[in-house]
Structure 1
């Protein structure tokens, strides 16, 4: 089938215009044709195309469609089929590019989901092979057992791909020691436009006629323009602008023939414009046995930059800079805030004294022995001259410090205000000796434009990442952006450098290439492009034939229609691309920290940290599906597009595709802390769903199920009142079938049982005033959550007895007989109007205990209930007394966290001794913490007390989300995904966050291992996932049992009968 040619580029379409009425029809023809060619996914629906319309840059360009190949053969077939028809092709990896080269009016080929094989490890030869979709982290996990690693380490190592590293010539912090991707790739397997498969590398021309033809052509071009190459290419260690003809010329001048010419350096940094990478032969290096990090604080960037040349004499593996703007952004981030305290203070005599630094240098050493590292660190101290320096040599401390540095760029997007750090001059590379001059003159440029900028840098190689603070929605700031872009490019050239050290040209710097390289070399680049891609179908408009300078401001997220005309504006080609606007709705959440719903929806900057596959929790559904749509970024993108009116159909709060995309969000809240920009998709999802309810857009069975889930407390209370009958009925086939049908529950999922009400077992309500007549004990209030009160009341009794043993009076506020509710289930299903009423009611019922100084805390057993009170309640426009909510949040703790924090202040010292005595044992204790707990205050909020009393036998699992997530794991439509999340393993059996493999491994190594889990959903999932073999307990149950064992040991056998 010979299809008509489609328009492809932004401003320089080389194909003839096409009648607008036929655009949609041709896109459908493309989709149908591709489905006959590939086994993978062909995704040409409007929603999918919009999800792939952005990367980590400021651009938004709706692609023609998306192909997700099943394997590299699929990739090659798709490239061949599309290219012979003249259809533009955009190879894409993790979509983390900052210059816009991953966006385009083309068919996106995304190899990140399935083309991920790592194989052929040759430990002796220090090589391994990897497919284009594998990540550097994945490669390193596969080769670590051999004591080796792949050196390039961009900040996106967890989500960037090998194909993307090749396309961008990725480098990272340690390139001064290990080089860029081009120095660490020995061969590239690629498919050319037209479908020819070619392997590139040294001597490729001897093995392949196609490779020889390309090498011969490139050699002629390099020789013809040798004088301009030598004059125009900067002699800096990092440069990634244009095509690397300087690397080709270097080989030719050394006498390398066309047969032996290595074109790998040319392909590295070519942004997918010359070939589509299928895989690569990677150079490996021995893992360093010695590591150390020095953190040096300075008053400002200028002082830090001035110190760099001397520091380089110590032979570091990295010298990195962050400034005060990044430091302040980190201070406002849940995950990074603790790491700021590691920086040495200025002018202080001891820990915690002095002023916060205005800039910090990371100076790292990696060597064959720790002794050599220590010697270099000693030299560093001498160079510091008694200035503030902190040396870190433990692996955990270094990892924490590097997390903050790597989060630098996305951290800035969490800053409040309409002006945000914009990526457009963020990659200048100049000789290190000129770095101070560049910083000084660049500051003058941005100050002259009435703004400021954030600075951080790979200072060791002169690469400065600068983000001016601008608002692209503002016409004045858009004009400032263009002026700064031009002046920064000229400044980099005057300083002997170039405007891109590692992020590439793309849409944002391509229009400025000719200012740097001149017309002759631009012609040479076009000639190279013509050799590899005669039809110009591979990522058109990048490097070769870029738009004019004004096109830098076209096709941005805030103005996606700017610069468009003709067929791309037709509804058949996608939604109308006007200027996004704010929704005219009254929201339930204030989104106070983000400046309202619109800004909250726009906070995702596309860095894709949510696409990591190990470490932390974010994002469980992406880890299980490897589908962009089901990543935090995908949901953030979908929400932004819907909220700003960029969805077809007109109703921004009832877009079916957006609803479906949000459907697999587990509301785990991991993104609230692990996303450097603090994008809280859980809250955004709740708001979006609430707006659907408010507008009458939800009906029938969906509304009924949400109503039942939201009122789970009432259902549990009713079941508890007749627990034996209710439990028997739930197990009876016909009743269970009815429950399954009405509530959409999967029949494979067990149902929680009912227990006698906790309110019948713990009767102290505190109605006589805290302390009561003759009761002088300090008090704590135990919050009776929906499941502890009516399904696991034994847990509540255990908590009460443990707290009483520590000397407290335990009261259970009744809330008018209802017991009060945090509203978590209502929030989760978007019933925010009802949740607001519950907040007002429950907060008032707790006023007396909150305001009585004799009540030391309001204590929770269920982390998701505590997260509602300490997090969601404070942003809900509930109408409750804001001061009361703040005081309640400040007084609310998990039971075990409270016990640990107040350890030396408990009324009964004997209670502490009994707990410590009874906690002795020999078996491992493994703890899985609830997602909300990990996200908001950390797993150690339970782990600390366990370690305090049980010591080294406690192991906090590095598990992610269990996959249950309240009602999520019950659903017939989500059960399989829920279990897949629970069973997650990493590549090659590496840890991948799944709780079930970790629990099984713990029991295999220690059959007597005791398994604890803080969330009721987590315990339920472990029970179902192990077929009831492992029955996890709440840590408080374990602690209460330990207390009574200790009491029995002290008081004799009679006390043992009281053990819960």
Structure 2
């Protein structure tokens, strides 16, 4: 059927059609627990593509599954049919009218893009899910998304004025609020449109009492269909009724949305409570103050974010983030302080933040909750099997108490966070979804949880829809008669049940089609790396990615994921690669295991930047997984030339250092350089770095000595291959600066290497041997109390991170990781003799430093030295070690640099210093701009010499 579907679609659509195993693997799941291999994937370019696709599916009797950003946690964006992904091309703000405060958008429009278009007019779109940087308007319409500000600005259903929709039979309709005369006119129309309105009118007239009672207008009743919007007093609004229908009735081709006015001033009050239940109890007292939002987090969630610290918050075990807006300066701040005073002893403390940057730091905790909560503090796994249920806010405290008793009875636990202001809690529980008994326990728990929500007058879904996660449980919330109306409503639009089947009506079982899998014992035995954060299991590491899709962010900051930002293709996102690796383990679509060409193709454009290790809420480490895959993929096979040329670079550099002038003369000759690049698999567009005349380790043999146990403040300066053989001036500068700061500096007596280039090319056996030798050389220094100063961030980060994967359980390796520091971390402990440098600078942070080491010490040292430095949020430079030098990668490497770095440098005044500690970053800047970047050590050395 897949080939038949592809043939029928070919020539009918301008968008991309895919039925290959890799594409299908990318779309087997969303951010839920469920897995459904599709028949095919379509990336339509416009409404005409969607129309043609639906016509083809109707001809072949193939189901349609609409999809936006794929961030749904309910299992309503994956299914066994044609997945229509509008997020790639069918996107954009078509029209924005500031006077009427409306916008017309295509379904694939990312929410942040709409917000960016509205902001210059002082407007915004009200609903704001935590996935705002990648979720699409079509997806928000599908599951009636709400977000943190819905307490003030409503749900998606409250903001939709008009929808352009397509039925499975090919009928296209524009729907919205319908007056009685207009309803009469539409029921008289011929064909499908007239039938739809006639049958809807009959459905409403025959069930007015039920619609007015059981289908309440309580804001967070998202489960089921929104039939209450068809009541006469609600304007028979078919657009609003279709919001939250999860693609089971129509395909959305466009929408007209209402925008809201931004308050001129906003403040964030952070209220502390003893525990989450106490915070829930306080909500009814807070709502009369008319806040913009009331969001809750508990201490465990805060602790899961490395950058967050409970000491930055008021005392307590749980907190409410309460935002206020105002048109006049000070108005919102006064309201926040007034609320805190009124709550009195109910709170354990409070603070009021007026600084937007400080507010954003706290909002990050809340926004990343869906990912953070996937791993508990002890490393155990948690799942979204019971998420987003809501109860009326006045019942929230009682519901949470009983829910926690339910968890204890079942031996389950969860962090607690969510939209407290509307009674909607997000809970990820430590279900056992790997065993039959565990899955049975999962089913028992969600059944009892559904009964508990219903008993409190709540909704199984407070946002994100029902999907497969909750549709089967709807009889526990609704009467049989209401469920019959749901079936009747769907049948009016989709009588053959081809629109996202198995959701809402005739649902699949809540415990069927689970995607959670274990790796086979054979695969676990064969894996090379240690995976200490995943209990030594590659399979557990592969379960880290739950699909929240932060790696698909193209509008915000951070590093992750540079190749996706360059290509906008799902397979080049961290999530896409993780899904392919998971499907490799599964073995159904990707059948050749470690030899998989599909996985290899996706990983080929992974820069190994490690941005995902810090920017992904669940610390997916794709660079490590790539190294493992390459190691297995090329086992006993010939490797690409670049793996021999750049993977073995430290040895070639050592050989070249025997006659650096000869080596430099050869690489400087165009023909010789071109031949070397061709033989070495190096991109012809790249310039080969110039060799230093004398390596630092040879020039400063006086520093090459053994450990002195009596030495004061001893430091071993790490002679990384990049600085040692290409830019020894950096090591010289560091030695001078460390000496001036009171450290006694030595170099190792014997040659050492961190093995980075072998790790990045997946030559892990060699890397382990190199590291074992290095650890043995460094053992006496570490035993004598020496610390290690790293100048190259990638090498320093390897000691602090990947060393544990390569030498798990090695005590000396653990000590090396603990004793390794950046130059700035060591200088931050000293009383520096350099001050008052009076320099303006911008700093480009190396990806590995961003991900593993942090940049706080560097910012502090520069500030104390009198360097007015702005840390650029420019992401990956695009060179990323060997990646940007490899043949076939130059265009992507340059695109990564052009994403943010190079434009930022062009806007930087010529007299402003560019500081970058990474050799790759400095090389990319030198080769692709007219600027020259310097290492922080060089800047501080210059400051010393100018004293």
The bucket for the TM-score relative to the shorter chain is over 0.9
Residue deviations 1:902-928, cap 9 Å, x none?
Answer: 133x5xxxxx2xx223x224xx41111
Which residue is 2:200 aligned to?
218
- 5 Å-filtered alignment, 1:324-363, equals 324-328=299-303, 330=304, 333-334=305-306, 336=307, 338-346=308-316, 357=317, 359-363=318-322
Mark the CA change 1:40 to 1:840 in structure 2 (over 3 Å): closer, same or farther. same
Residue 416 of structure 2 corresponds to: 455
* 1:801 is the counterpart of 2:736: yes
Displacement after TM superposition at 1:823 (Å): 0.9
Question: Cα offset for 1:663?
Answer: 1.3
927, 935, 955: which one pairs with 2:870?
955
In structure 1, the partner of 2:286 is: 311
Once the two structures are TM-superposed, the CA of residue 137 in structure 1 deviates from its matched residue by 1.2
Match of 2:50 among 68, 75, 79: 75
Alpha carbons 1:236, 1:429 under 8 Å: kept? no
Question: Residue deviations 1:238-291, cap 9 Å, x none?
Answer: 111111001211xx136x4xxxx4322112101011222222222222222222
- How does the TM-score come out when normalised to structure 2? 0.95
Pick the aligned partner of 1:890 from 799, 818, 843.
818
Matched residues in 2 for 1:174 and 1:610: separation? 24
Question: Quick one: which of 243, 261, 273 aligns to 1:268?
Answer: 243
- Partner of 2:96, secondary structure, is strand
1:762 aligned to 687, 700, 703, which one? 700
**Residue number in structure 2 paired with 1:916:** 835
Alignment correspondent of 1:19: none
C-alpha contact 2:216 2:228 (8 A) present in aligned 1: no
Question: What is the DSSP-based 3-state SS (H/G/I as helix, E as strand, rest coil) of the residue aligned with 1:470?
Answer: coil
| Whole-angstrom distance in 2 between the partners of 1:402 and 1:747 | 45
Q: Aligned residues, how many? A: 935
8 Å contact 1:930–1:1013 — kept in the other structure? yes
Output one character per residue of 1:885-911: Cα deviation in whole Å (capped at 9) or x when no partner: 233222222213321x2133x5xxxxx
- Map of 1:748 onto structure 2: 685
CA deviation string 1:28-56 (max 9, x = no partner): 01112212112221110112111100111
Rate the CA distance shift 1:581–1:242 in 2: closer, same or farther, 3 A: farther
Judge conservation of contact 1:273–1:529 (CA < 8 Å) in 2: yes
> How far apart, CA to CA, are the structure 1 residues paired with 2:577 and 2:363?
27
The C-alpha deviation readout for 1:731-784, integer Å capped at 9, x for no partner, is 323322322222221211111110021112222335264499xxx764432111
Contact 2:532 2:804 (C-alpha < 8 Å) held by counterparts: no
Q: Secondary structure at the match of 1:63?
A: coil
Describe the superposition over 1:638-664 as per-residue Cα deviations: whole angstroms up to 9, x where unpaired. Answer: 112223444544x42211111111111
Determine whether 1:685 maps to 2:586.
no
**C-alpha distance in 1, partners of 2:811/2:544?**
28
Measured on the aligned residues, the alpha-carbon RMSD in Å equals 2.3
Contact 1:199 1:211 in 2 (8 A): no
Q: Is the 8 A contact 2:741 2:830 kept in 1?
A: no
Mapped partners of 1:117, 1:409: distance in 2: 26
Q: In structure 2, do the counterparts of structure 1 residues 608 and 340 end up closer, same or farther at CA, with 3 Å as the change threshold?
A: farther
- CA contact under 8 A between 1:89 and 1:107: conserved in structure 2? yes
Cross-structure match for 1:1016: 919
Q: Deviations over 1:620-652 (max 9, x none)?
A: 111111111111111111112223444544x42
Shift of the alpha carbon at 1:616?
0.7
Partner of 2:289: helix, strand, or coil? coil
- Is 2:489 aligned against 1:558? no
How big is the shift at 1:364? 1.9
User: Offset at 1:459?
Assistant: 1.0
- 1:942 matched residue in structure 2: 858
The alpha carbon displacement at 1:293 in A equals 1.7
Written as runs of structure 1 = structure 2, the 5 A alignment for 1:964-979 is: 964-979=879-894
Aligned to 1:858, which of 769, 773, 788? 788
Deviation at 1:933, TM superposition (A): 0.5
Determine whether 1:168 maps to 2:109.
no
Query: In the alignment, which residue of structure 2 is the partner of 1:1036?
Result: 937
Structure 1 residue 307: Cα displacement: 1.3
Match status 1:903 vs 2:830: yes
Q: 2:528 aligns with which of 584, 588, 591?
A: 588
SS at match of 1:292: strand
Contact map agreement 2:283 2:420 (CA 8 A) in 1? yes
1:59 equivalent to 2:5? Answer no
What is the distance in 2 between the residues matched to 1:962 and 1:705? Answer: 20
Residues 1:878 and 1:156: Cα distance change in structure 2 (over 3 Å): closer
CA deviation after TM superposition for structure 1 residue 76, in Å: 3.0
Q: Is the alpha carbon distance of 1:581 and 1:279 closer, same or farther for their aligned partners in structure 2, counting shifts above 3 Å?
A: farther
Give me the whole-angstrom Cα distance separating, in 1, the residues matched to 2:931 and 2:599. Answer: 38
Q: Deviations over 1:144-164 (max 9, x none)?
A: 222221121111111111110
SS in 2 for 1:291: strand
Task: Report the more deviating stretch, 763-772 or 446-455.
Answer: 763-772
Stretches of structure 2 that go unaligned for 5 or more consecutive residues are none
Superposition pairs of residues 200-211 of structure 1, within 5 angstroms: 200-202=175-177
Matched, 1:42 2:17: yes
Task: Pick closer, same or farther for the CA change 1:778–1:517 going to 2, 3 Å.
Answer: closer
In structure 1, how many angstroms separate the alpha carbons of the residues matched to 2:808 and 2:897?
Answer: 35
Map of 2:222 onto structure 1: 240
Q: Corresponding residue for 2:905?
A: 999
8 Å Cα contact 2:706-2:748 kept in structure 1: no
Residues 417 and 552 of structure 1, relative CA distance in 2, 3 Å threshold:
farther
Greater Cα offset, 530-539 or 238-247: 530-539
2:574 corresponds to which residue? 632
Offset of 1:311 from its aligned partner? 1.6
Q: Judge conservation of contact 2:230–2:241 (CA < 8 Å) in 1.
A: yes
Show CA shifts across 1:683-713 (max 9, x none).
111122222344x2x32x52x5323322111
Q: Deviations along 1:850-909, whole A, 9 cap, x unmatched?
A: 2334x4x31111100000011111232367xx332233222222213321x2133x5xxx
Q: Judge which range, 63-72 or 46-55, deviates more.
A: 63-72
Quick check: 1:379 aligned with 2:354? no
Q: Which of the numbers 164, 169, 191 marks the counterpart of 1:189? A: 164
The question of 1:620 aligning with 2:567 is answered no
SS at match of 2:451: helix
What is aligned with 1:739? 676
1:308-707 alignment runs, 5 A limit: 308-328=283-303, 330=304, 333-334=305-306, 336=307, 338-346=308-316, 357=317, 359-386=318-345, 387-415=348-376, 420-547=381-508, 551-558=509-516, 583-595=523-535, 596-613=537-554, 614-649=556-591, 651-694=592-635, 696=636, 698-699=637-638, 701-702=639-640, 704-707=641-644
Q: Residue 98 of structure 2: which of 123, 133, 140 is its match?
A: 123
Task: Report what 1:789 is aligned to.
Answer: 724
* Bigger Cα displacement from structure 2, 78-87 vs 56-65: 78-87
User: Deviation digits for residues 939-993 of structure 1, max 9, x if unmatched?
Assistant: 3343332222235x32111111111111111122111111111111xxxxxxxxx
- CA distance in 2 between counterparts of 1:52 and 1:581 reads 26
Q: Secondary structure at the match of 2:255?
A: strand
2 CA distance for matches of 1:945 and 1:1019? Answer: 20
Q: Residues 1040 and 199 of structure 1: is their aligned pair in 2 closer, same or farther, counting only changes over 3 Å?
A: farther
CA contact (8 A) 1:43 1:65 kept: yes
8 A Cα contact 1:1013 1:1032, kept in partner: yes
C-alpha displacement of 1:192: 2.4
- In structure 1, what is the Cα distance between the partners aligned to 2:462 and 2:270? 24
The range that moved more, 668-677 or 82-91, is 82-91
**Shift of the alpha carbon at 1:938?**
2.4
**Distance (whole Å) between structure 2 residues aligned to residue 1014 and residue 285 of structure 1:** 45
Distance 1:527 1:644, change over 3 A: closer
